[in-house]
């Protein structure tokens, strides 16, 4: 079990002070307390830990030999009074100690990568799930108060709900989950975020500036300082998690590039004019010949298998 870092310890101590102030203070104190909780997701996570610790402080302290002498023989009402006095006196120290010693989470670190030739699905240590396109990778670091993921490539995340915030960083973009199924793709200095359900905030990872708060069924495309929001069929866009590529009136050049990326098999178009042909349908990512046969049935094109992948040319 890992100890919290100095920043986490300070935040736990601050949460314990707020809890004591809210319980014994005025209505203004309680209003200020609620405002503090709303400031940052980490505040709510810290309060959750400290409040559980506070509720169990008598048991935690007794287990560590901190109970008062003769307490076992004292009347129940007197014993309760002792604890009502003892907990505020121990205050921050006991609440933070109990939170760390009894209810803390292990520091969890994971590095996961998909093979170069196929997509992959992984269960994260916190119970969330990630789907990665070929060659993509994630590194998860889960601490007492937050869960942070660094993404290289493209991944779809189905996040387990809990008090700790969950954030994905890809380059200069940080996607903060609010209870969500979403995807993030980072390539060639550009980032695309698709929200399927729930809510997310998209921030600048360098300074925390809010960039966008999309709605389900929207894609945010980011290049440099420009962010563009557009509607998207999220179910179709994320169907690759199930091994399907859903194509809705798209040019062959874009479809071939996407299928090559998802299958790990290069598809070369020998005639540039072929790339302008429009394609429809649903195709199995692991069966590129099926896609090329369907293409040949619609248009005057043929294909052949090579050592490197596939080649498409006019008949």
**Domains of the chain by range and CATH?**
6-102 (no CATH), 108-236 (2.60.120.1440), 243-314 (3.55.50.30)
What does the pLDDT average to over 178-203? 92
Categorize the per-residue pLDDT at 92 as very low, low, confident or very high, splitting at 50, 70 and 90: very low
CB 244 within 8 A of CB 282: yes
User: What's the confidence (pLDDT) of residue 292?
Assistant: 95
In the sheet that 200-204 helps form, which strands lie side by side, from edge to edge?
108-113, 137-142, 147-152, 166-170, 173-177, 200-204, 210-212
Q: Residue 225 pLDDT more than 90?
A: no
3-state secondary structure of 274: helix
What does the pLDDT average to over 79-104? 43
Residue 171 CA to residue 165 CA, distance in Å, equals 19
CB 130 within 8 A of CB 150: no
Residue 114 burial by Cβ neighbours in a 10 Å radius (0-12, 13-18, 19+)? buried
DSSP code per residue over 229-268? EEE--HHHHTGGGGTEEEEEEEEHHHHHHHHHHHHT--EE
Residue 2 has what DSSP assignment?
P
User: What's the confidence (pLDDT) of residue 263?
Assistant: 93
User: What's the confidence (pLDDT) of residue 78?
Assistant: 41
Structure tokens at 132: 């990665």
Residue 297 CA to residue 166 CA, distance in Å, equals 46
Residue 265 CA to residue 290 CA, distance in Å, equals 14
Categorize the per-residue pLDDT at 31 as very low, low, confident or very high, splitting at 50, 70 and 90: confident
Distance of CA 286 to the CA centre of its chain: 27
Q: Which are the contacts of 166, defined by CB distance < 8 A and separation ≥ 6?
A: 126, 128, 146, 147, 149, 157, 159, 176, 177
DSSP code per residue over 49-80? HHHHHHHTHHHHHHHTT-SPTTGGGS-HHHHH
Categorize the per-residue pLDDT at 229 as very low, low, confident or very high, splitting at 50, 70 and 90: very high
CB 1 within 8 A of CB 104: yes
Backbone angles phi, psi at 255, to 5 degrees: -65, -45
Q: Residue 310 pLDDT more than 80?
A: yes
Tens digit of each residue's pLDDT (9 = 90 or more) over 294-307:
999 999 999 999 99
CA angle 9, 15, 18 (to 5 degrees): 145
What does the pLDDT average to over 96-118? 68
Residue 159 CA to residue 144 CA, distance in Å, equals 17
Nearest to 174 by CA among 154, 149, 144: 149
What residue ranges in the chain does DSSP mark as E strands? Answer: 108-113, 120-123, 129-132, 137-142, 147-152, 154-158, 166-170, 173-177, 181-187, 190-197, 200-204, 210-212, 218-223, 226-231, 244-251, 267-269, 278-284, 301-305, 310-314
Q: Residue 221 pLDDT more than 90?
A: yes
């Amino acid at each position: 079990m890992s100890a919290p870092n100095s920043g986490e310890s300070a935040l736990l101590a601050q949460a314990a002070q707020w809890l004591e102030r809210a319980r014994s203070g005025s209505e203004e104190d309680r209003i200020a307390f609620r405002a503090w909780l709303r400031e940052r997701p980490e505040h709510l996570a810290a309060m959750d830990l400290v409040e559980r610790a506070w509720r169990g402080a008598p048991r935690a302290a007794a287990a560590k030999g901190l109970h008062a002498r003769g307490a076992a023989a004292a009347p129940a009402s007197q014993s309760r009074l002792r604890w009502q006095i003892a907990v505020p006196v121990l205050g921050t120290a006991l609440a933070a100690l109990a939170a760390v010693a009894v209810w803390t989470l292990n520091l969890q670190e994971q590095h996961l990568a998909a093979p170069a030739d196929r997509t992959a699905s992984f269960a994260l240590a916190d119970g969330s799930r990630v789907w990665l396109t070929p060659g993509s990778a994630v590194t998860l670091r889960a601490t007492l108060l937050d869960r942070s993921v660094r993404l290289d490539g493209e991944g779809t995340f189905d996040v387990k709900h809990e008090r700790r915030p969950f954030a994905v960083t890809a380059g200069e973009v940080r996607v903060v989950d609010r209870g969500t199924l979403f995807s993030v793709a980072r390539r060639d200095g550009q980032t695309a975020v698709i929200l399927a359900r729930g809510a997310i905030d998209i921030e600048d990872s360098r300074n925390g500036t809010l960039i966008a708060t999309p709605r389900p069924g929207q894609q945010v495309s980011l290049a440099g300082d420009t962010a563009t929001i557009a509607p998207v069929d999220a179910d179709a866009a994320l169907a690759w998690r199930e091994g399907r590529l859903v194509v809705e009136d798209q040019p062959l050049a874009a479809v071939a590039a996407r299928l090559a990326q998802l299958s790990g098999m290069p598809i070369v178009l020998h005639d540039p004019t072929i790339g302008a042909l429009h394609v429809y349908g649903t195709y199995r990512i692991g069966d590129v010949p099926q896609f090329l046969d369907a293409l040949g049935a619609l248009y005057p094109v043929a294909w052949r298998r090579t050592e490197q992948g596939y080649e498409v040319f006019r008949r």
